[in-house]
Structure 1
Amino acid sequence: MFARVRRFVNRVLNNSRRINNEPLNRVSLIVIILIDIFILVNVFIGLNDISGWHLSPSQAYPCYAQWQTYRTETSKDKDYNILRELLLYKNSNQPSQKQIYQETATDHIGQVSPICLQYAEYVDNINIPQNQQAIKAIDDRQSKISNLRQANSRIRAEYDSTLLEKIAGQSREQSINQVGAEKAKQELEKNNRNISQLEQEISNLKNELKLKPESSELITFLQNGEQFYQIEQGYKRASFWYPSIQFAFQALFLLPLIFIALLVHQFSQRRRYGLVALISWHLLVIFFIPLIAKIFEFLQFGAIFQFLFDVISAIFGSLLFLVSYIYILLIPLIGFGIIKFFQKIVLNPKLQAVNRIQKSLCVRCAKKIRHNDAYCPHCGYYQYVECHNCHDLTYKHLPHCKHCGSSQEREL
C-alpha cells in the first residue's frame, strides 16, 4: 500500500514539474507557482462568496439573539432595557428595521422568518421622536444622578476629615477642606433630595414609555412563548443544516472546475499538448486542495458532527470528548475505504490497462506509443510480462495471455 502511495505521489510531482517528460526550467516553474497561488486565492474567494449565497441562521432569524436575551434576562427593568436598546441608536436617516431585514435576503437564497418581520414592524412602530426624546430625558437624569453621587462621595470624604479636625481642636482657618462640617451635611441632604426626585422622575418616564400602545404591543409580542419557540426551533434547525448547505454550494462551485480541468488534461495528453497538460494538471491539483479542505471542515462542523454530538450528549451526557475519539477512529476507516475504492475501481491498473492497450497507450503513463514498443519512450515503463504457461511475452495487467489464453492471475 505504501509503495502505491509513493508511486502516486511521484506521479503527481512528475506531472507537476515536466512538459512531455522534460523538466521545467526555473523561470517556468516560478511562473507556474505564481499562477497556482493566484488561482488558489481566487478559488477560496469564490468559495467564500458562494458559501454565503444561502441565508445564514442569523440572517434568516435576525430577531432570535435579541429576543433570547430578553427572555433570559432576570432584571425587573428588562422591558425598559429592550425598549432603550431598540431606540438608542436609531435615527431618521436609517431605513426601517423591516427594510433592513428584507434587504438581507436580497440576492440570496432563502427568506427571512415572517415572525421576525412582524417583530421588525413592532420595532419600527416604537421608533418615533417622542419615544427617543423620552430615552434622552431618562439618560440625562441618570447622568445628573451620577454627578450628584460623585459629589456626595467627595463631600463625605471632606466631612469625615472636617470632623477629625474639629475633634483635634484645629481652627477653621487652618483646615484644608473647602466645606465645613455643618455645610457639608446640608449639601449631602440637598443632593440626596435631588437624587430621590430624579429617580422618581425616571421611574415615571419609564412607566410612561412602557405603557404607550406601541411599546405595550412590542412587549406583549416578546412575551409570547409560542412564537419564540417557533423562532428558536427554526434557528436551531437552520444552524444544523447550514454547514451542509454551505458544503453543497462549495462543491457545486468546485466540481465543474475539476471536471473541466480533468477533461482538458486528458485531451491534451492524447494530443500531446505538453504545456496545456501541465497547466491543466496544476489546475486539477489546485481545485482538489480546497475540496479536500472543505470535506474535512464539513466532517468537523457539519450535520454528521452535530448528529454524533447529539448522540453522545444523549447517551453519555457531558463526556463530549468521546466525539473526538469517534473521529479519530472513524476518519482513518473512511480514508481506508476511499483508498480501496480508488485502487480497486477508479485507479485500478487492471481496468486502466484494458482501455490503454486497446488505444495503443502506455500501460502506466497513458501516452501514445507504437504497437510493438516494449518500453514506453515517455516514461520508460516495460509493457510486457512473460506468460508462465507458454513463456511468450504478453501484456501486463491483462487477465489472459494473448498467445495461449492461459490465466495470468498468478503473475498480476
Structure 2
Amino acid sequence: MFSKIRRFWNQFFRKSRKVNNEPLNKASLFVIIVIDIFILINVFTGLNDISRWHISPQQAYPCYSEWDNYRKSTTADKDYEIIHNSLFIVDAFRTRQESYKEVEDRQLGEVSETCLQYAQYQDQINIPQNSQILQNIEQKEREVSQFEQKNQSIRSQYDSTLLDKIAGQSPGQSINTVGAEKAKQELDQNNQKISTLKQEIANLKKKLVATPESINFLDFLQADSNFNPLAANYQKASFWYPSIQFAFQSLFLLPLILIALFVHNFAQRREYGLVSLISWHLLVIFCIPLLLKVFEFLQFGVLFSFLVDIFNTLLGGLLFLISYIYILLIPVLGFAIIQLFQKVILNTKAQAVRRVQNSRCTNCAKKIRPHDTYCPHCGSYQYIECPSCHTLTYKYLSYCHHCGTAQDVTPDI
C-alpha cells in the first residue's frame, strides 16, 4: 500500500513539473503557479455561490428560531417581548411577509407557509396605535433609567454627607451637591416616581398584549398544531441541507473535472506537452475542492448523522467512537482514490502502449527509431528482460512480445 502511495506521489509531482519529461524553467513554473492560485480561488468562490443556490433551513423557516425561543422562554414578559420585536420594522418599504418570501425569487426552494402566516400576524400587529403604545413604554423606561442614575449618584455621596455632618463641617464647605437630609428626601421622591412609572409601564404592556392583533398572534404561537410540524420540517431540512449543498457543489465541479480529463487525455495521445501539463494542473485544481467537499460531507452530512443515531441507540451516546470509524474510513477512501487515479489518469501502461505504437520514447515521448535501445533525447533504456524467455521486450507493457508471458509493469521511479 505504502509503495503504491509513494509511486503515486512521485508520478504526481513529475507530471506537475515537466513538459514531455523535461523540467519547466523557473519563469514558466511561476506562471503556472500563479494561474493555479487564481483558478483555485475562483473555484472556491463558485463553490460558495452554488452552495447557497438552494435556500438554507434558516431561510426556508425564518420564524423557527424566534418561535422556538419564545416557547422555551420562562420569563414573565415573554408575550410582550415577542410582540415588542414584531413592532420593529424590518424594511420600511416591505412587509415581513414580503421580506420572507423574497428569497424565493433569488434561490431554489420555498419558504414555509407557516412562517409566512407567522409574518402575516406580525404585520397585523405593526400598526400605528401599537407603535404609539411601544413609544410610550420606551419613553417611560428612559425616565426610570434617569431617576435610577440620579439615585445612584446620590447614594455614592450619601456616606460622605453623613461624615460631613458628624465632623460639623458647614454645608458651604462640603464637596457634595446635597446634604444628608435633602438627599434622603430626594431619594424617597425618586423612588416614588420610579414605582409610579413602572406601574404605568406594566399597564401599557398589558394593554399592548391585550390588543386583538396581539391576542391572535399569541394564540397562533401557543398552538402545538402549528409549531410541532414546523419544528419537524425544520429538523428534516437541517438534516438534508449538507447533502443538498454537496450535490450542487459536485454538479459545479464534475463538468470541470470531466473537461480537464478529456483535454488531458487528448493532449497525452497527441503528445501536446504544454497542453497536457496545463490540463493536468487544472484537473488537480478541480479535484482538490471535490476531495475536500467529500471529506466535509462525510463529517457533517447524512452519513455522519446516520452514525450518530446508531451510536446513540446502541452505545448510549458514545459518540467519540465515530472518530475511530473515520480514522479507519478516510485512509481507505484515500487509497481507493489513489487507485482510481493510477488506473485512469496516471496510467503508465496506457501511456507506454501509445508511445510504443507511435515509435516514441516510453519516458520522454520524443520520436525515436523503432530499434533504438536508448533514447537519444533523454537516455532512457527502452526495454526490459523477460523473466521467462530472457529476451528483450518493451518496457511497461503487460506481456512479452516474444513469448506472451505477463510482465511486471511497475514503473521504476
Return the offset for 1:98.
1.0
What residue in structure 2 maps to residue 22 of structure 1?
Answer: 22
- Find the aligned partners of 1:24 and 1:346 in 2 and give their Cα distance: 21
**In the superposition, relative to structure 1, how do residues 404 and 35 fare at CA in structure 2: closer, same or farther (>3 Å)?**
closer
Return the offset for 1:402.
3.7
Return the offset for 1:157.
4.5
Q: Which moved more, 1:261-270 or 1:349-358?
A: 349-358
What residue in structure 1 maps to residue 151 of structure 2?
Answer: 152
What residue in structure 2 maps to residue 208 of structure 1?
Answer: 207
What residue in structure 2 maps to residue 49 of structure 1?
Answer: 49
Q: Provide the secondary structure at the position in 2 that maps to 1:106.
A: helix
- Find the aligned partners of 2:66 and 2:119 in 1 and give their Cα distance: 12
Give matches, 1:2-151, under 5 Å.
Answer: 2-88=2-88, 90=89, 93-151=92-150
What residue in structure 1 maps to residue 322 of structure 2?
Answer: 323
Return the offset for 1:404.
4.1
1:287-334 Cα shifts (integer Å, max 9, x gaps) = 111111211222222222222223333344454332222211222233
**In the superposition, relative to structure 1, how do residues 375 and 262 fare at CA in structure 2: closer, same or farther (>3 Å)?**
farther
- Find the aligned partners of 2:354 and 2:268 in 1 and give their Cα distance: 15
Q: Provide the secondary structure at the position in 2 that maps to 1:54.
A: coil
Amino acid at match of 1:314: T
**In the superposition, relative to structure 1, how do residues 92 and 260 fare at CA in structure 2: closer, same or farther (>3 Å)?**
closer
**In the superposition, relative to structure 1, how do residues 37 and 321 fare at CA in structure 2: closer, same or farther (>3 Å)?**
same
Q: Percent identity?
A: 59
- Find the aligned partners of 2:362 and 2:198 in 1 and give their Cα distance: 90
Give matches, 1:1-400, under 5 Å.
Answer: 1-88=1-88, 90=89, 93-317=92-316, 319-340=318-339, 382=381, 384-395=383-394
1:172-222 Cα shifts (integer Å, max 9, x gaps) = 444443333443333233222211221121111111111111111111111
**In the superposition, relative to structure 1, how do residues 380 and 230 fare at CA in structure 2: closer, same or farther (>3 Å)?**
farther
Q: Provide the secondary structure at the position in 2 that maps to 1:179.
A: coil
Amino acid at match of 1:204: N
1:18-43 Cα shifts (integer Å, max 9, x gaps) = 22333322222221111111111111
For the Cα contact (< 8 Å) 1:61–1:235, is it kept in 2? yes
**In the superposition, relative to structure 1, how do residues 201 and 354 fare at CA in structure 2: closer, same or farther (>3 Å)?**
same
Q: Which moved more, 1:129-138 or 1:163-172?
A: 163-172
For the Cα contact (< 8 Å) 2:8–2:338, is it kept in 1? no
Return the offset for 1:279.
1.3
- Find the aligned partners of 2:401 and 2:224 in 1 and give their Cα distance: 79
For the Cα contact (< 8 Å) 2:5–2:338, is it kept in 1? no
**In the superposition, relative to structure 1, how do residues 378 and 293 fare at CA in structure 2: closer, same or farther (>3 Å)?**
farther
Q: Which moved more, 1:210-219 or 1:273-282?
A: 273-282
What residue in structure 2 maps to residue 408 of structure 1?
Answer: 406
**In the superposition, relative to structure 1, how do residues 21 and 344 fare at CA in structure 2: closer, same or farther (>3 Å)?**
closer
Q: Which moved more, 1:393-402 or 1:249-258?
A: 393-402
For the Cα contact (< 8 Å) 2:385–2:391, is it kept in 1? yes
Amino acid at match of 1:63: C
For the Cα contact (< 8 Å) 2:19–2:277, is it kept in 1? yes
Q: Which moved more, 1:261-270 or 1:312-321?
A: 312-321
- Find the aligned partners of 1:361 and 1:214 in 2 and give their Cα distance: 85
Structure 2: gaps spanning 5 or more residues: none
Amino acid at match of 1:65: S
Return the offset for 1:241.
1.4
Q: Provide the secondary structure at the position in 1 that maps to 2:111.
A: coil
Structure 1: gaps spanning 5 or more residues: none
Q: Provide the secondary structure at the position in 2 that maps to 1:105.
A: helix
For the Cα contact (< 8 Å) 1:388–1:408, is it kept in 2? no
Aligned length in residues? 410
Return the offset for 1:44.
0.8
Amino acid at match of 1:408: A
- Find the aligned partners of 1:231 and 1:125 in 2 and give their Cα distance: 21
Amino acid at match of 1:301: F
- Find the aligned partners of 1:328 and 1:358 in 2 and give their Cα distance: 45
**In the superposition, relative to structure 1, how do residues 379 and 291 fare at CA in structure 2: closer, same or farther (>3 Å)?**
farther
Return the offset for 1:109.
1.4
Q: Which moved more, 1:379-388 or 1:92-101?
A: 379-388
For the Cα contact (< 8 Å) 1:79–1:219, is it kept in 2? yes
Return the offset for 1:367.
7.6
